[in-house]
Amino acid sequence: MTATFASFPPCHRALARAWALALGLVGVWGTGGVWAEKADRQQTLNIEADQSSTVDMARRVVVFNGRVVLTQGTLRILADRVEVSEVGEGHRTAVARGRPEQPAQFREKRDGVEEFVEGRADLIEYDSRESLIRLSGKAVVRRLRGTQLADEVQGETIVWNGSRETFSVAPAERAGSEGRADRVRGVFVPPPPAAPAAPPPAASSGSSPGTLTGAAPGATTGAAPGAPAATRR
């Protein structure tokens, strides 16, 4: 999954961020200074949009519209509309909605490895308290080794647990006309084979320069000095 959004007008970026700051919806959620994968939930939540946004001070809700980009650490959510709510104790939830021709999308790096988890669906719900991402409506989640596909699952609903690095998949409640629309599907690609071990260096066919192939200098090949000669019988 790849998506490239054009740069947003600076005035809309500034306005959206100012409204979010007014509600305390954008800020550092911890003291960690490293953008580590498992520390994503402790990082600053940033949101940008290119259209007018609305603020409900009483409900502590901000709604962003138009090519919305939400980032927190390595987590990135792209959507046409995102509603962010404060749920207490510094935690937030976000509901991201896509368009028929462009579903909502997310991408996040796994901890300690060069792997990414990414997905798309009609609706993406993010819960910072539980580190959960719930995808609903034609949901697809992939795991990538670098840029190579490792796993892919499809279903009506997929829940990604970022803390445990697990996901669950549920089919649609109703089957399609052929009885197959409600099935969960998965593709699991084996890892690439390990590189063969390097062959050992070839043995030298001749003697090393300066090395004698016979007896050591000063040594005799017969009996030791003073020893009786062997008698042939």
pTM over 0.85: no
Confidence bin at 200 (pLDDT 50/70/90): confident
Q: Is it the case that residue 47 has pLDDT exceeding 70?
A: yes
- Residue scoring higher pLDDT (172 or 47): 47
DSSP 16-42: HHHHHHHHT-SS--SS--S--STTGGG
Nearest CA among 166, 91, 83, 156 for reference residue 125: 83
Question: Which ranges of the chain would DSSP assign to H, the alpha helix?
Answer: 10-23
The distance in angstroms from the start CA to the end CA of the chain is: 90
Contact status, residue 133 vs residue 121, Cβ threshold 8 Å: no
Tokens 């066919």 sit at which residue? 205
Identify which has the larger pLDDT, 227 or 77: 77
Using alpha carbons, list the distances in angstroms from residue 22 to 27, 45, 56, 126. 11, 14, 11, 21
Which H or E element spans position 169? strand 166-170
Asked if pLDDT for residue 4 goes beyond 90, the answer is: no
pLDDT band at 30 (very low <50, low <70, confident <90, very high): very low
120: helix, strand or coil: strand
Question: Domains along the chain?
Answer: 10-188 (2.60.450.10)
Average pLDDT over residues 131-159: 93
